[in-house]
């Protein structure tokens, strides 16, 4: 039983396209996150939602738009993809919005050509 799942696992697309990555957690957690791991292995938070409410919104181009239809799902939509968007994107969840361990999905490797 996968706790945090992401689809797709791999995504190869061309510059200028629009794509979405989906995330689902079955842990009953209230908070979900999107992280980006770039080529230098730097894992950086992008967004966090608590009960469908946006609580962390780091400096991310507005081409990136998260959507949380319910507290078990947090999707990431990216418009007008650029070469620099190539990275591994991780979804995570935690029980609350405090300092707790986060449970990560397996990652989505996005390659923009």
Partner 1 sequence: DQQVKQNSPSLSVQEGRISILNCDYTNSMFDYFLWYKKYPAEGPTFLISISSIKDKNEDGRFTVFLNKSAKHLSLHIVPSQPGDSAVYFCAASGGGNQFYFGTGTSLTVIP
Within 14-43, the residues that bind partner 1 by CB under 8 A are 31, 33, 35, 40-43
With b for 16 or more beta-carbon neighbours within 10 A and e for fewer, the 56-68 pattern comes to eeeeeeeebebeb
Residue 101 interacting with partner 1 (CB under 8 A): yes
Name the residue among 3, 6, 60, 2 with its Cα closest to residue 36.
60
Task: Please identify, using beta-carbon distances, which residue of 3 and 15 lies nearer to partner 1.
Answer: 3
3-state SS assignment for residue 81: coil
β-pairing, 87-94 with 73-78? unpaired
The CB-of-70 to partner 1 minimum distance in angstroms stands at 19
Which residues on neighbouring strands pair with residue 50, listed in sequence order?
A: 31, 53
From the list 14-22, 59-67, 74-82, 90-98, the region that binds partner 1 by CB under 8 A is 90-98
From the list 13-21, 65-73, 76-84, 93-101, the region that binds partner 1 by CB under 8 A is 93-101
Alpha helix (H) ranges present in the chain? none
Residue 72 interacting with partner 1 (CB under 8 A): no
Interface positions with partner 1 (CB under 8 A): 4, 31, 33, 35, 40-45, 48, 55-56, 90, 92, 94, 96-107
């Amino acid at each position: 039983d996968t706790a945090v799942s992401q689809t797709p696992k791999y995504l190869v697309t061309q510059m200028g396209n629009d794509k979405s990555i989906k995330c689902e957690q079955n842990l009953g957690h209230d908070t979900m996150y999107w992280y980006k791991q770039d080529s230098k292995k730097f894992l950086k938070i992008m967004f966090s939602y608590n009960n469908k409410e946006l609580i962390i919104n780091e400096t991310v181009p507005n081409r990136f738009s998260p959507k949380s239809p319910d507290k078990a799902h947090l999707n990431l939509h990216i418009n007008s993809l650029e070469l620099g968007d190539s990275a591994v994107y991780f979804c995570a969840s935690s029980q609350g919005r405090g300092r707790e361990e986060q449970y990560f999905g397996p990652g989505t490797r996005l390659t923009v050509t």
